[in-house]
Every structure is written in C-alpha cells, then in structure tokens.
Structure 1
Amino acid sequence: MFQSFVFKEPSPITTTISMVAFVFVAFFGISEIFGKHLQFSKFVNVSSNSNSHSNNFLQSKLSSRIGMFIVYAPPCVVGFASFVMYPNGETRFIMLKSAVTIHFLKRVLEVLFVHKYSGGMVLGSALIISSSYITLVAVLIHLQHLIQEYTEPKIDLKYIGLTISLVGICGNFYHHYLLSKLRDKKEKGYKIPQGGLFSMVICPHYFFEILDFLGISFISQMSLSFSCVVGSTLYMMGRSYVTRKWYISKFKNFPNNVKALIPFVF
C-alpha cells in the first residue's frame, strides 16, 4: 500500500540514503532523552562532554542569533540555488523547491527579526544541524529532479501537502511570535509561554514544524522525505520531552496538563 503513495526508488543507493537519514536524525532524538543534547537554547551548557572538551574549537560558544543564522542560512541558499541549477520542471518539482526554500527563508527572517535570545549555541551543534539541513535539501531536490519523468504515484498528495505545509509554516511562525513577546529586550530569563497552543503543549512550534515537514514530504512523495519526517518527529519528541522536564524543574507552578508536543497525548 505504501507504494501507492511514493515514487519508485531510482536506485538502491537512494533507499540506503533514506535509511541512513532516518537513523541519523532519530539518533539525536534518543540522545536528547538520555541527556546528550545538541547544545543550544536552554541546553547550551548541558552535555555530558561539555567539560572534557571545553578547549575544543567546536565547543566555542556563539550568540544564539549567529548560531541560528549558521544553521538556517546555508540551506536557504541551497534552496534558492536550486532554481538556478534546475530552472525548469513540472508542477511537483516547482512546489517542492518553493516549499523547502520558503521554510528556510522564514527561519532566517525569524532569526534576524523575530526571535529574542537567552543562552547561546555551541559551534559544533550549529555545524551539525546546518550540514544536515544542507545535505537533506540538496539531496531531496536533486532526487526529485531525477524522478520527474517517473510514473506518478497512484495517490497524488502534493496539493494536500501544500495545504499542510502552509498550516505548519503559519502555526510555527505564530508560536515563535508569541515566544518573542514573552519578555522585553532587556530581560534574559525564561518564562512559562502563554497563548495559542502553549496552554496544551510546551513546544507547539515543534508540532507545527513537524506539520510543515509532513507537508513537504507529501509534496515530494519520496521515501527519503517520509524517512526524514519520521526521524525529525522522533528528534522533536525527544527535544520537547526534555524541554518539558526542564520547565517542570524550573517552575513550581508549571501546569501538569500541559504536554510536551502533541495535545492530550505526549
């Protein structure tokens, strides 16, 4: 049944890439739960290896704005470059390039003009995340270019995917905006987020980012994109789980009914 939703794999290599991508991203989600965090935001100084590698160049601490710009700007450039490298294409291919590029352009604009920062980001974590995004965007767009002449899946999900992606982008931006309004420019401390779905989950911005990735995978309809969205979901589940634990440890009045990522469920 799954084959009704996805394009035929161009080669066994692409199947391997999909499996590696899933394992890679899922590994970081499991690592989050067991206390080995990608070091940014609340967890910039929390890592089992942070002390033993304090003199390592990759452990250099950046401001959050610079770190996040390093994360999102390069894949955004790759997205724009794809329109130059592959100027033509059918509807699905154009939709995919656009959805991916808009996703990262939005994140860059948020980094520059929306977010307010506390903490920072470790260079090594910034490079890991950025290189992962660069690779994913480049491979995803290239493979989508290669399969344009392939027979379309029996069930066409690209327009459903576009709708889901737009909902994800809007919901993610709205909750980032709410986070930015929690404190004024001079405040650096953390507060319990309010408004929107923050009354139900502590990481609704992650929830909507998953929706955005899910929408992109529906537009693409390749096993690579589906593998990445499942892996990303596992990572964000891990990250939101430890984020909720962090809020509970810091705020005695943290509401027990507020879940980590999925309303009423998790």
Structure 2
Amino acid sequence: MVSLTISSASKPPSFAKGFPLTIDVTSDTTVADVKASIAAKFPKFYSARQKISLKTDKKALSDDTKLSTLLGSQLQGGELQVKDLGAQVSWRTVFLIEYVGPLIIHPIFYYFPRLWYGRSFQHSELQKYVFAFVMLHFIKRELETVFVHRFSHGTMPFRNIFKNSAHYHIFSGLFLAFDVYRPKYSATSPYVVGTYRNNETFLWAAAGVWAFAELSNLHTHLTLRNLRPAGTRTRKVPYGYGFTQVSCPNYFFEVIGWLVVCGMTNSIAAWIFFVFGTVTMSLWALKKHRNYMKEFGKEYPRGRKAIFPFIL
C-alpha cells in the first residue's frame, strides 16, 4: 500500500474543496477505484462527473486502466489529476428526450392545422404516408433506446442535452412538421393532384423502400448489440448483413429512409434535415471506421468503406 496524490485540474466544485487529496493504492488499483475513492470522500462528486488524467497529459484515462501501467511499479509519489465534467445524465435518457420531441410535435401540426395555417383542410395521401413514416421511425428509435442499445459511455454532461435535442426537436420536429403538413401538400393542392405525389403505386413503392431501410437499420442495431455482452465495453469486429461493404450500415440505411421522405415531398425542411443529418452521420462513420481499423489492425476487413458502399 502506497500513497497517491490527486490534484484538481481546474477549479474544483464547491462540494469538493479538499484537493489535493491523498489516497492509498496498490499495484492492482484501477482508475475506476480512484474515482470511487474520490466519490467516497465527496459523495456529490460521483464517478461519472470525474475525468482522471496524468498530470503531464490531459487525455482521459480509461476506468479499467491499472495505475501500475501508468506510473510504473513504484507508485509512491505519483500524481493524477481530476477534472469536474459537470452534472451528468445517462445517454439512454438523452436519447429518449431527443426522440420524443418529433413524436409530440408532428401530431400537433397534423391534427390541428387551423392553429398553424389558419384553416382546416383534407390531408393528402402523401401527408398521411409522411406522418406515418415519421411517427413509426421515432417510435422505433425510442424502443431501440430502451430494449436494444448498449452504451459504451454511460453518461454525458447535462448541458449537452439541449444541443443534442435541438437537432431533432427543431429540424425533424418543428421545421419538417410545419412544412409537410401545410396546405401546399393537401389533398386538393395542385402541387399534389395529378402528380406522382398522388400516385398510389409511387406511394406504395416509397413505403416499400422506407420499410426496407428501417428494418435494415434495426437489424444492424441488433447485430451491434449482440457483439457487446451486457455490462461490458467489449468490442468485436461486426460481420453479417450490411457490414460487408461498410463499417456503419445503420447510418447508411438511416440515410436511405430520410432520402425517401425528401423524394416524396421535395420539402425544403426535409432536405435541410437530410443534408445536415447525412453530413453528421458521415463524420461519425469516418471516426468509427478509423477506430475500427486502429483497434483491430489486420483483422479488420480492408475492403470496407465507412458509410457509403464503394464511395466513402
């Protein structure tokens, strides 16, 4: 048993004024154990709020890292830093809040057009299809959040919940709902009557492609879930349906689903959400693709792209 000093990398929170802190550790002590010791001293400074790093390096240390691998076998005199990440909220909660926005917003615009457009009108089949697509998509997202997804990171800063939710509540919620349920797309609008937007065969074909994309997206989420045993952060190379050509087929199928909505409506709001979402998912996919290649090396299939087969 030796002593280890924990200093504060920034101004500590008001409920944790005892830094620097000295704790007793062994060669088997992990970063998670250090966090637990700090939380035991300052209960409000719970582990999820803490970022532990070396004094000479600001990079966060993994919870399962042993101190002996960081500071050598001679731990006496070693020093780590802790930074307060602020109040935390679980990723599962964040996702539930993000996806519930469109589920509330779209019915308000769809069922109460007089409030937003000043008059009532008959919805076109196009609007009915789009409404069904949006509601089913986000209901699926909520169910996946509760029953399918396993998160490698348990929490995120509470303040980020507003930024993350804005994308869904504003772009796929307010903007999309206001645009696609307005009179321009109604059953008697010349923009719809006599066009492909009112063609039953086209609408059924669009529904078929959309359903294919949604079910394929669900399938890849289930594949990813089965790669990670409950309660672990285990990562394995994903194989199977969708993964032959790209590292992130879930994003690829998501893109297809929203592209269907854009093609059906040609709504400027739909296109804005589609472009913004596609760029964001492409950046996520490229990062995950690089991480896969770095982590698994030669074991990772070299022919895969990040998100779009043969392209990116």
Q: Larger deviation: 103-112 or 145-154?
A: 145-154
Partner AA of 2:152 in structure 1:
S
The change in CA–CA distance for 1:223 and 1:263 in structure 2 (over 3 A counts) is same
Q: Tell me what 1:138 maps to.
A: 174
Q: Tell me what 1:189 maps to.
A: 234
Does structure 2 retain, via aligned residues, the 8 Å contact 1:158–1:220?
A: no
Q: Tell me what 1:94 maps to.
A: 128
The structural deviation recorded for 1:208 is 0.4
Gaps of 5+ in 2: 1-50, 52-57, 61-82, 114-119
SS of equivalent to 1:199: coil
What is the RMSD computed on CA atoms of the aligned residues?
A: 2.6
Task: Give the counterpart of 1:173 among 218, 223, 228.
Answer: 218
Partner AA of 2:105 in structure 1:
V
* Aligned mates of 2:248, 2:303 — CA distance in 1: 13
Higher gyration radius (CA): 2
TM-score (norm 2): 0.62
* Aligned mates of 1:73, 1:191 — CA distance in 2: 31
1:163 aligns with 2:190: no
* Aligned mates of 2:175, 2:291 — CA distance in 1: 35
The change in CA–CA distance for 1:132 and 1:180 in structure 2 (over 3 A counts) is same
* Aligned mates of 1:230, 1:163 — CA distance in 2: 22
Q: Tell me what 1:42 maps to.
A: none
Describe how 1:1-266 pairs up with structure 2 within 5 A. 55=84, 57=86, 60-86=87-113, 89-122=123-156, 123-136=158-171, 137-146=173-182, 147=184, 148=186, 150-152=189-191, 154-156=195-197, 158-252=203-297, 253-266=299-312
The structural deviation recorded for 1:132 is 1.8
Does structure 1 retain, via aligned residues, the 8 Å contact 2:175–2:269?
A: no
Does structure 2 retain, via aligned residues, the 8 Å contact 1:76–1:104?
A: yes
TM-score (norm 1): 0.71
The structural deviation recorded for 1:64 is 2.3
* Aligned mates of 2:165, 2:59 — CA distance in 1: 20
SS of equivalent to 1:230: helix
* Aligned mates of 2:211, 2:282 — CA distance in 1: 21
SS of equivalent to 1:62: strand
Does structure 2 retain, via aligned residues, the 8 Å contact 1:162–1:216?
A: no
Higher RCO, Cα 8 Å, sep 6+: 1
SS of equivalent to 1:257: coil
Does structure 1 retain, via aligned residues, the 8 Å contact 2:92–2:146?
A: yes
The change in CA–CA distance for 1:125 and 1:167 in structure 2 (over 3 A counts) is farther
Partner AA of 1:63 in structure 2:
S
Higher helix share: 1
Identity %: 22
* Aligned mates of 1:101, 1:183 — CA distance in 2: 29
